[in-house]
Amino acid sequence: MQHTGVTQLGVRWIDNQAHIRIWAPWATAVDCLLTEREIVIPLEKQTYGYWYANSKLPRHGERYKIIIDGTAYPDPASLYQPEGVHGPSAMIDLDYPWTDHRYHAPAQRELIIYELHVGTFSDKHDFHGVIDRIPYLKALGVNALELMPVGQFPGERNWGYDGVYAFAVQNSYGGARGLQQLVDACHQADIAVILDVVYNHFGPEGNYLPTFGPYFTAKYHTPWGDAVNYDDELNYGVRDFVLANVRMWFEDFHIDGLRMDAVHAIKDFGPAHILQDIRRLADGVVAKSGKQRYLFVECDLNDRRFLDPLEVNGFAMDGQWLDEFHHTLRVAAGEERKGYYKEFEGVAHLAKAYEKAYVFDGCYSSHRKRFFGTDSDGIEGDRFIVFSQNHDQVGNRMFGERSSSLYSAETTRLMAFAVFLSPYIPLLFMGEEWGTKKPFQYFVSHSDQQLVKNVQQGREEEFREFQTSGEVPNPQDKATFQRSVLDWNELEKSPFRQHYLYYSTLIALRKSHPVLKNLSREDINVDCLSEQNVLLLRAGKAKSKLLAVMNFSGAAQRILLDDDQKWLLIFDSLSGATDRITRELTQSSHELTAPAHSGLLFESMD
């Protein structure tokens, strides 16, 4: 008989009974301990290493642990960890009075994504702090929030990638009910919610998974140690675990999309890759609900297989983060070429990123010392997500500096201009839109002092290649976290307010202009003027055409156009104007001057 997968793990309430299912293939006895009343509920062994019981003895919200051969542990599939990663689990019910029955997520090509970290987004450090700002986000013009991981992690300060309970929403953020309230409130405002999830590793502190079963395999090495076991002996239990988690986010939390962290670190050489199984599960949820569910990935392999359909043995992800666009944009703007920026050539590679998506599409990579990547021919532009900054590209700098601390206001506006005039899905990182200079640094709150020491040493080692002077901020220090919390009072001050108005105007232009809101990769053509550090981007068809001029140099540049088209300036990154500015290019020479660090957008007059 073929194993078909388990959709329910941990404790779920059905008809006022607690249904308990645990995967522990090595165990000889498994029990559920109700810790406060010291009641033991024996579980019966079933096939494939699963243990099961249903009982009316537990009470809603009651705390419990799972006893494996005499030793008690939190439940790996716990829905709530009220006392943190080492404490007992809690038997909560995920039923929620949803009000979003008529809501449908935007079409993929219409997405404008706003990435945020719940703990530093507001001084409340929780989901309610996000809910309070929904009217602001709506007014800004974004239509999708991307939450950094919310699975239970050690302490109250963490990026979320050290989570060890995939099913338990962080207690300090507001737990499962808080996340459900946030999603429901976002849907009422016609804002989708994308959740960052981590299936390539689990954090070190509070990680009791190896006690329950072979969640890891020594067959492969990853930056975090042994790989998650997707294709070794007894892998089906691990795959069930991940698939049940995906189903929970879609069905019990109404999450509109998942962003899967660093999928290139998922080692799975079985006949069906775990991403393919996730795709099939998501398709089933869509068919049942009639509502879209997106699957986005972070992947640095430049491998089209992640986007190709299942029919050609692809993984059929809906889209991927396009880091190379960011790297080329940064170098064009003046980023020093060291570390992984070393091999990028600024405007020349940015032009290629606009047209080809992958900069390294089979050519030689000096950073990797090998030929790298595939082409992306035939893949639509809305399958790629681009940005001028995100949590990684800010927080993984030694001091967590944002673009606003590294470049002039004119340059950061030009970078945003380049993102929103691309044929790809734009993403911005919280606070970017008003140009905050508050850093976003790497922070943790581990209780294991040796682990704290290892994390600090790891950060120091990470920045050796960049040879940055100064002392690496201590991730464990609470001040590192506090420095990273947004200051919303800045919005009422100059120049932050003006920067916000620029972003909101640019977003409105992207959403309203008939060429930009329907822009495809096939509709654009890019000319690179490398010596001037200028790009000319032409977009559109027939009578509806746009010309974007991006001057990344520190001096005004005179540019000679090689066509007879008459152009009208409709947007200037230096002023943020979108009214019909009466600057027409009608001279016989068709010459224009682009100010330093500027983006100009022209519309055809014919």
* DSSP codes of every residue in 301-359: S--GGGTS-GGGT----SEEE-HHHHHHHHHHHT----GGGTT--THHHHHHHHHHS-S
Sheet holding 544-551, edge to edge: 524-529, 534-541, 544-551, 598-604, 567-572, 584-585
Q: Which two structure tokens, joined as six digits, stand for 541?
A: 């068809």
The answer to whether the annotation marks 263 as part of a ligand binding site is yes
Say which residue the tokens 């997405």 belong to: 111
Q: Is residue 300 within 8 Å of 264, Cβ to Cβ?
A: yes
Q: Which two structure tokens, joined as six digits, stand for 111?
A: 């997405």
CATH topology of domain 10-90: Immunoglobulin-like (2.60.40)
Q: Answer yes or no: is pLDDT of 165 > 70.
A: yes
Q: Answer yes or no: is pLDDT of 308 > 70.
A: yes
Q: Give 4's pLDDT tier (boundaries 50, 70, 90).
A: low
495 preceded by cis ω (within 30°)? yes
Q: Is residue 74 within 8 Å of 65, Cβ to Cβ?
A: yes
Q: Distance between CA atoms of 514 and 565, rounded to whole angstroms?
A: 19
pLDDT of 481 reads 97
pLDDT of 471 reads 86
Q: Give 588's pLDDT tier (boundaries 50, 70, 90).
A: very low
DSSP character at residue 577 = B
Q: Distance between CA atoms of 550 and 553, rounded to whole angstroms?
A: 9
Give the closest residue to 89 by CA, choosing from 66, 63, 112: 63
Length of the chain: 606
The answer to whether the annotation marks 396 as part of a ligand binding site is yes
Q: Which two structure tokens, joined as six digits, stand for 282?
A: 């998501």
pLDDT of 585 reads 41
Q: Distance between CA atoms of 291 and 146, rounded to whole angstroms?
A: 18
All structural domains of the chain with their residue ranges: 10-90, 108-208+255-469+479-511, 524-604
Q: Which helix (H) or strand (E) holds 13?
A: strand 10-14
Average pLDDT, the chain: 94
Q: Which two structure tokens, joined as six digits, stand for 20?
A: 């308990």
pLDDT of 379 reads 97
pLDDT of 6 reads 65
The answer to whether the annotation marks 326 as part of a ligand binding site is yes
pLDDT, mean of residues 571-598: 69
Q: Distance between CA atoms of 451 and 253, rounded to whole angstroms?
A: 33
Q: Is residue 165 within 8 Å of 76, Cβ to Cβ?
A: yes
Q: Give 558's pLDDT tier (boundaries 50, 70, 90).
A: very high
Q: Would you call 251 exposed, middle or buried from its count of C-beta atoms within 10 A (0-12, 13-18, 19+)? A: middle
Q: CA 222 from chain center: how many Å?
A: 20
The answer to whether the annotation marks 562 as part of a ligand binding site is no
The answer to whether the annotation marks 254 as part of a ligand binding site is no
User: How many CB atoms neighbour CB 1 within 10 A?
Assistant: 5
Using a pLDDT cut of 90, give the percent of the chain over it.
Answer: 87
Q: Answer yes or no: is pLDDT of 1 > 50.
A: no
User: How many CB atoms neighbour CB 493 within 10 A?
Assistant: 11
Sign of the dihedral defined by the CA atoms of residues 238, 243, 248, 254, in that order: positive
pLDDT of 584 reads 42
Q: Give 544's pLDDT tier (boundaries 50, 70, 90).
A: confident
Per-residue pLDDT tens over the stretch 507-528: 999 999 999 998 999 999 999 9
Q: Answer yes or no: is pLDDT of 349 > 70.
A: yes
Strand partners, 217: 227
pLDDT, mean of residues 237-245: 97
Please identify every residue annotated as catalytic. Answer: 261, 298
Using a pLDDT cut of 70, give the percent of the chain over it.
Answer: 96
pLDDT of 586 reads 40
Give the closest residue to 483 by CA, choosing from 423, 436, 438: 438
The answer to whether the annotation marks 540 as part of a ligand binding site is no
Question: In sequence order, what are the residues at sequence separation of 6 or more whose Cβ sits closer than 8 angstroms to the Cβ of residue 107?
Answer: none
Domains 10-90 and 108-208+255-469+479-511 share a fold: no
Of 267-281, 380-394, 464-478, least confident by mean pLDDT is 464-478
The answer to whether the annotation marks 325 as part of a ligand binding site is yes
Strands (E) located in 153-236: 165-169, 192-197, 216-222, 225-228
The answer to whether the annotation marks 324 as part of a ligand binding site is yes
Of 171-180, 571-580, 585-594, least confident by mean pLDDT is 585-594
CATH topology of domain 524-604: Immunoglobulin-like (2.60.40)
Q: Answer yes or no: is pLDDT of 150 > 60.
A: yes
Per-residue pLDDT tens over the stretch 80-115: 999 999 999 999 999 999 999 999 999 999 999 999
CATH number of 108-208+255-469+479-511: 3.20.20.80
The answer to whether the annotation marks 375 as part of a ligand binding site is no
The answer to whether the annotation marks 349 as part of a ligand binding site is no
pLDDT of 463 reads 76
The answer to whether the annotation marks 393 as part of a ligand binding site is yes
- Please report, for residues 202, 456, 473, 483, the alpha-carbon distance to residue 460 in angstroms, rounded to integers and kept in the order given: 22, 6, 9, 19
pLDDT of 23 reads 98
The answer to whether the annotation marks 261 as part of a ligand binding site is yes
pLDDT of 340 reads 84
Q: Is residue 475 within 8 Å of 399, Cβ to Cβ?
A: no
Q: Is residue 182 within 8 Å of 204, Cβ to Cβ?
A: no
The answer to whether the annotation marks 392 as part of a ligand binding site is yes
> Pairing mode, if any, of strands 144-147 and 192-197?
parallel
Q: Which two structure tokens, joined as six digits, stand for 137?
A: 């986000």
Give the closest residue to 396 by CA, choosing from 497, 343, 295, 468: 468
Of 589 and 540, the structure prediction assigns the larger pLDDT to 540
Q: Would you call 491 exposed, middle or buried from its count of C-beta atoms within 10 A (0-12, 13-18, 19+)? A: middle
Question: In sequence order, what are the residues at sequence separation of 6 or more whose Cβ sits closer than 8 angstroms to the Cβ of residue 394?
Answer: 400, 401, 402, 403, 429, 439, 440
